[in-house]
Amino acid sequence: MKRIRAWKAAGTAILIAAALTACNSGDSAADNADPIKISVILATGTSNANWDEMLSGARAAARAINAEGGVKGRQIEIDYCNEKNDPNQAAACARKAESSDDIAIVGLESTYAIQSVLPSLRTIPNIGPMALSDAEITCATCYAYDGSLFAAFGAGPYLAKLVGIKSVVNVTQ
């Protein structure tokens, strides 16, 4: 179940980014020749964090889009950076994405998102991060769409405050 959810999350994020690009891309022949590059920052191959299935999901989604002709004729290209569950490497991946011509980071899953990744982001959209904190929801370039049950608990108080909720009652059976 976890694997299917991760593939779905990565695939959905790719589709969102592709759709946003399709709406904003020009129609000239020169524009259509260049691939649409999308950053994916995940830890793989570590003993503590290993998100191979999310990377596979992102690549599968890109292949599926490309097999159907891409986005207005442009192919999707995944620009993967392994953050290796290391805060310095996570920051390096974020700086690389920020300075690249990638259109977005999708499906960010980093233990060091708040400390290392978010401070390095200035303009590149961060679409579909696994948002577990206020910072990951409120950053200027973050577009969280699903943070799972854990994110609901972490971000719930902030979101409730935004809409004017003053108290919460848990009802269980």
SS (H, E, C) the chain: CHHHHHHHHHHHHHHHHHHHHHHHCCCCHHHHHCCEEEEEEECCCCCCCCCHHHHHHHHHHHHHHHHCCCECCECEEEEEEECCCCHHHHHHHHHHHHHCCCCEEECCECCCHHHHHHHHCCCCCEECCCCCCHHHHHCCCEECCCCHHHHHHHHHHHHHHHCCCCCCCCCCC
- Digitized pLDDT (tens) for each residue of the chain, 173 residues in all: 455 455 555 555 565 555 555 545 555 544 557 999 999 999 999 988 888 888 998 999 999 999 999 998 999 999 999 999 999 999 999 999 999 999 999 888 888 888 899 999 999 999 888 777 778 778 889 887 655 555 556 566 666 777 787 776 666 65
Name the pTM for this structure.
0.72
